Amino acid sequence: MHPLVVNFEADFVLQLLPVEADFTMDQVAEAAAFHSLNRRVKPQSGKTLRVRVQDADVPLGREVTVAQAGLREMETVEVYYE
């Protein structure tokens, strides 16, 4: 288990997200969406969810894994619509 801190666009709270080191960013986004979308945030159709480290200018590649991206445990990532 590799826990991350997720800040999901338009949600109100940071949430604990247990992922695996071999998860791709698309899988991270999907796992994060489970805890926010349709719970407190309306989905936006036709857009892609991206993942970036808090304050980074650009998102991480969609196929990049947690390990490859060098995300530490409890790294804070933002998941947002592009």
Residues interacting with another protein, by CB under 8 A? 3, 5, 7, 9-18, 34-35, 38-42, 54, 72-74, 76
Q: Which of 35, 37, 36, 31 is nearest to 51 (CA)?
A: 31
- Smallest gap from residue 1 Cβ to another protein (A): 8
| 17 vs 25, beta carbon nearer another protein | 17
Q: List residues bridging with 66 in a β-sheet.
A: none
Report the C-alpha gap between 56 and 23 in whole angstroms.
20
| 64 vs 71, beta carbon nearer another protein | 71
